[in-house]
Amino acid sequence: MADGTIAGRGRVPFEITDPERIPSKRYYDEEFYRLEVERLWPHTWQMACRLETIPNVGDWIEYNNLGKSVIVVRTSEGVKAFHNACRHRGVPLTEGGHGNCKTKGFICPFHGWRWNMDGKNTFVYGRHMFSEGQLDEADLALRACRVETWGGCAFINLDDNAPSLRESIGPVADRLEAHGMGNLRAEWWYATVLPANWKVGMEAFMEGYHVMRTHPQLQQAAPMLYNMMYGMDTGGIGIPINPNLSVRDNIKAQYKHLGLLSDGMAGMVHPKEVEIAGQLLDVELPEDPAQAVPMWYGIVQDQITKQLQAKGEPVPDLNAVAVSDPINAVEFIFPHFFLLPFFSSMSSYRIRPLGPESCLFELWSLTMYPEGEEPDPVMEPVILPYDSDQFPQIPRQDYSNIPIQQKGMHAEGFEFMRLSKDIEGLISNYQRIIDGYLKGVPQDKLAAANQKLGGNFDGKILDLGF
């Protein structure tokens, strides 16, 4: 829209009127889901692919979501994207997957019409049979889709008038780049279909409040950490906090916690980082644990930086960026992509709706490699059942909750989720931004609200400005 609003504004069913209460029907109602499909997804920046999957000129990969297909292609002029439909009769030029179009271009499987990597038509079979007005070069070109790159990924937006990717993400984009996000490469890529609304899947990772019960191995390894964040009155289920615990025992507990994070999610804390931390269990530290533990983490970060840089990995100075560009344990890129950083590696998740109560959930383990030693790109996910024991422990534990939470949304008398104003605010902020899209709030205001999600993990309910 020329005025920066989204077409189709109108009544929003189950609109949030109390930011601490989220109506349960938003997670399964057919009409609400239809409005998301029509008013939310076509106007947001969607993570379409990792750039290492299209490293060479002519490389392409298809991105699908909610019946919309886009081809993302690396050209000699940079990354471009096109709506995946032959300009003749609308047949998709690709049906899933990836390839290289530098030599042959994109060939329609129906009548053989062709387009090159820049979207220009190069061949019409039986051209003489068509009116010249139907074969105008500009009109015959593949329809471009907006695409922008950031953080080692390509993002697409179906709305030509939406604010830019940077305007939508905000300062957290620079902070994540300072931590080397653009230099990460995928070690593995898993995916599963969850029998749950896509928002239930997203919101399972918007707070760490669930760690005590869902991830007890983390609570037991570092009870002080989690009890300090979520309240000593919870009691925890882990080892009681001993105020007389020695510095060495504190360090051993922290090291064990890092190992559990690594075993549980790989890229979140990479095994090579745990190995370096294990070299530093006996370094000289102050006698006061309150001083010793932060100092130990500083030494660990310094050694990860130096040792991995010495191997040729493009790791930033982790202690420096922790001060200049602090980031959270989870950072969200609205509406469906998020990163879990810790030291030099990260995990990333992407969720796409498949219906009101089904979603595709993808996970990547990301790390850095010396230049020239990067592995072949991981081109397709390993598809697993959501209860597969092949998933790392942490997502496997989360997946045990998500489907049953979806069932609970239908319980008689369960009309809304009640949120902590101090620790579950990200869920409220996220859901109210969705309402903004459904109501047709001007997109500059929506972009400004999106920016507030950066750093909001475990955060408070915020004033979104609309």
Task: Give residue 137's Cα distance to chain centre.
Answer: 38
Q: What was the pLDDT predicted at 234?
A: 46
Q: What was the pLDDT predicted at 366?
A: 97
Residue 198: inside a domain, yes or no? yes
What is the spatial distance between Cα 363 and Cα 239, in angstroms, rounded to a whole number?
Answer: 31
Q: Which of 78, 65, 15, 301 is nearest to 180 (CA)?
A: 301
Cβ pair 159, 2 in contact under 8 A: no
As for how many domains the chain has, the answer is 3
Helix spans in 54-186 (H): 137-140, 165-169, 172-178
Shared-domain flag, residues 233 and 295: yes
Residue 459: inside a domain, yes or no? no
Shared-domain flag, residues 124 and 228: no
Residue 160: inside a domain, yes or no? no
Give the domain-ending residue among 324, 357, 372.
324
Give the domain-ending residue among 281, 301, 324.
324
Shared-domain flag, residues 426 and 388: yes
Sign of the C-alpha dihedral, residues 100, 104, 108, 110?
A: negative
Residue 288 in tokens: 């006061």
Residue 7: inside a domain, yes or no? no
Shared-domain flag, residues 268 and 368: no
Shared-domain flag, residues 257 and 128: no
Q: What is the CATH number of the domain that holds 425?
A: 3.90.380.10
Question: Which residue ranges of the chain lie beneath pLDDT 70?
Answer: 1-9, 223-225, 227-229, 231-244
Q: Is 152 left (phi over 0), alpha (psi -120 to 50) or beta?
A: left
Shared-domain flag, residues 187 and 287: no
Q: Which of 168, 459, 171, 172 is nearest to 334 (CA)?
A: 168
List, as own/partner pairs, every contact residues 409-414 make where C-beta atoms lie below 8 angstroms and the sequence separation is at least 24, other chains included: 409/24, 409/25, 409/27, 409/28, 409/197, 409/200, 410/24, 410/28, 414/24
Q: What was the pLDDT predicted at 385?
A: 97
Shared-domain flag, residues 441 and 349: yes
Residue 191: inside a domain, yes or no? yes
Q: What was the pLDDT predicted at 7?
A: 57
Residue 12: inside a domain, yes or no? no
Shared-domain flag, residues 27 and 75: no
Shared-domain flag, residues 339 and 420: yes
Q: What was the pLDDT predicted at 199?
A: 98
Count the alpha carbons within 13 Å of 322 in the hemisphere toward its beta carbon.
17
Shared-domain flag, residues 379 and 438: yes
**Bridging pattern class, strands 106-107 and 114-115:** antiparallel
Residue 5: inside a domain, yes or no? no
Q: Which of 146, 124, 118 is nearest to 136 (CA)?
A: 124
**Domain residues for 126?**
48-150
Give the domain-ending residue among 324, 347, 371.
324
Provide the whole-model pTM. Answer: 0.93
Shared-domain flag, residues 340 and 198: yes
Q: What was the pLDDT predicted at 214?
A: 86
Q: What is the CATH number of the domain that holds 104?
A: 2.102.10.10
Q: What was the pLDDT predicted at 241?
A: 37
Residue 6: inside a domain, yes or no? no
Q: Which of 132, 149, 190, 216 is nearest to 347 (CA)?
A: 190
Shared-domain flag, residues 59 and 118: yes
